[in-house]
Amino acid sequence: MEKCVIQTPRTGPQLLTLVMRTLNVIQRVFIDVVVYSQYQHTRTYLFGTSFDYCEFIAASDSYTNPVAKLVHAVALQKFPQALLECPASGVVNITDVKIDENLVPPIMPAGRYYTHFRMYNKRNQTLLAWKAKSILSQPFFVRRFECDNETNVYMKVLRCNLESPRHSPQLINIVVNIEQPLPKIYVSINLYVKQRQSMMFVYGTTFEYCEFLMRNESRQTNPVAVLIYNYAKHNFPQILRPCPLAGIFNVTGLHVDRNLIPPFVTPGGYFAEQRFFNKRNETVLRYESEFAVSAPSIFNKTMTLFAFKSIIFALKIILKRFQCIGYPYEISKLRYCQLETLRNGTQVTGVVVEILHNLHKVFVTGGLYIQYFRTRAQLLTTTMEYCQENRDPLSVGNAATKFTLDYAQQHFPQLITECPIERGKLFNVTGVRVEDALIPAFVIPGSYYVELRIYNKRNQTVFSGSLDAEIK
């Protein structure tokens, strides 16, 4: 064995590298493979087999072992260079194989697994053996989906439920009958990050649906309404009808998959509520759901949900204020902190901090807030022990912490360093152009306030700063 390692980049899938060289010619190669599902410390046997690899290769079409065929099919598709001819000799080189959903056999649902694999010769001498623990997670999973069963004279709920089959995606079913025509209908929707018993607002809006369809100017002033409309148009277009609204609205068998992940969210737990009401504020329909997201939205890359006919919202960021606060610091020296606005309108900012004492533990507190005049609504906040979180990125369970580390790695990689941080270390983040690439994918046009504080275990400040930004 020359190399056997798994690399875990901060962004992107894990990478597997395995390089093995056979010292002698092997006439017959045997393979054992066993897969278990694992719950805490308990393992349940799923499938496994032992077979003669050389015999299988010689007569693969007539071979009747289905598990052997599955193992060979996965290897043939994912790393064909590992399939040696018999008698076996030479080098097996599997380098930088991405460990992602494409590596998962189609028969395996989401869950935790333990896999054991062994290759040996006819004398039972081991050629290669490895064990692996893996987690297959669903990109989008709904924990709760409920409709308000309050009766009203306008509408009757015929069906509202969530189905969770054992080996297929969840299904959402909503069927309502509007018995009295509605010339005006208001839509209110809010999305929150949920962590245990606390919730943080992400985005939301209230708009009049009929006016939204008829008047282009109302679309231009409410980008969140455009987002919601296009989200519905992509996933359940049958509910988008002209006003007045009447009759049966049927959304049944809606698959809970990657297409339903709301735009501009990071992995984590969420709570959403939506309410439809008339001009007298009488509820026509209300439902709420709790769900977990473990993958990015398919809309984050293309921004297609911000496109409505000829209207495209191109976001631009302007810093109104950027300042370093609380200095001089006790354990560091602030050498540079400035925001420059050039004649052509380009903004450039930078910070240089020198560490004066060795730091074995570094704590980071940061927050992103939506700002309206002097009122701030918390959007995303986190507090983490940087050295611990940076040591094992896979163990990061807080979605806000993971976003913060990934954002720093993407835009300010010079800040990512190993611990302990030694005296004399210079953190130089200068010449940063304030441009739209710095805008997180999940934010919408508006005013924002960002704060950041870095300190040691004695609560002595290393750096503290804040900024006000306008995104439009």
Q: Say yes or no: 298 and 386 in one domain.
A: no
- Containing structural domain, residue 255: 140-303
Mean pLDDT of 126-153: 78
Domain boundary among 257, 274, 303: 303
Confirm whether 157 is domain-assigned: yes
Query: Are 8 and 99 in the same domain?
Result: yes
CATH number for the domain including 381? 2.70.220.10
Q: 460 or 391, which is more confident?
A: 460
Task: Name the domain boundary from 274, 303, 332.
Answer: 303
pLDDT at 420: 92
Instruction: Examine the pLDDT at 265 and tell me if it is beyond 90.
Output: no
Q: Is residue 169 located within the same domain as residue 298?
A: yes
Residue 217 lies in a domain: yes
Assign 3-class secondary structure to the chain. Answer: CCEEEEECCCCCCEEEEEEEECCCCECCCEEEEEEEEEECCEEEEEEEEEEEHHHHHHCCCCCCCHHHHHHHHHHHHHCHHHCCCCCECCEEEEEEEEECHHHCCCCCCCEEEEEEEEEECCCCCEEEEEEEEEEECCCEEEEEEEECCCCCCCEEEEEEEEECCCCCCCEEEEEEEEEEEECCCEEEEEEEEEECCEEEEEEEEEEEHHHHHHCHHHHHCCHHHHHHHHHHHHHCHHHCCCCCEEEEEEEEEEECCHHHCCCCCCCEEEEEEEEEECCCCCEEEEEEEEEEECCCCCCCCCCHHHEECCEECCCCEEEEEEEECCCCCCCEEEEEEEEEECCCCCEEEEEEEEECCCECCCEEEEEEEEEECCEEEEEEEEEEEHHHHHHCHHHCCCHHHHHHHHHHHHHCHHHCCCCCECCCCEEEEEEEECCHHHCCCCCCCEEEEEEEEEECCCCCEEEEEEEEEEEC
Res 267 pLDDT > 50: yes
Same domain, 285 and 216: yes
Q: What is the pLDDT of residue 109?
A: 63
Q: What is the CATH number of the domain that holds 109?
A: 2.70.220
pLDDT at 300 over 70: no
Q: What is the mean pLDDT of the chain?
A: 83
Residue 311 lies in a domain: no
342 and 428 belong to one structural domain: yes
pLDDT at residue 303 in the model: 40
pLDDT of residue 310: 33
Q: Is 144 in the same domain as 131?
A: no
Q: Specify if 361 maps to a domain.
A: yes
Over 80: is that where the pLDDT of 220 sits?
no
177 and 276 housed in the same domain: yes
Q: Is residue 109 part of a domain?
A: yes
How many domains does the structure of the chain reveal?
Answer: 3
Give me the pLDDT at residue 299, please.
Answer: 59
Q: Are residues 336 and 390 in the same domain?
A: yes
Which residue, 136, 157, 192, sits at the end of a domain? 136
Tell whether 310 is covered by a domain: no
Q: What is the pLDDT of residue 276?
A: 92
Per-residue model confidence as pLDDT tens digits over 67-83: 888 888 888 887 888 88
Percent of the chain with pLDDT over 90: 28
Judge if 157 and 260 occupy the same domain. yes
* pLDDT score for 301: 44
308 lies in some domain: no
Both 449 and 343 in a single domain? yes
Residue 272 domain-assigned (yes or no): yes
* pLDDT tens figures, 18-31: 888 888 888 889 99
Report percent pLDDT > 70 for the chain.
86
Q: Are residues 293 and 332 in the same domain?
A: no
Give yes or no for residue 337 having a pLDDT over 90. yes
Looking at residue 465, its pLDDT comes to: 95
| Domain identity same for 376 and 284 | no
The pLDDT of residue 106 is 62
Read off the pLDDT band of 227 (50, 70, 90): confident
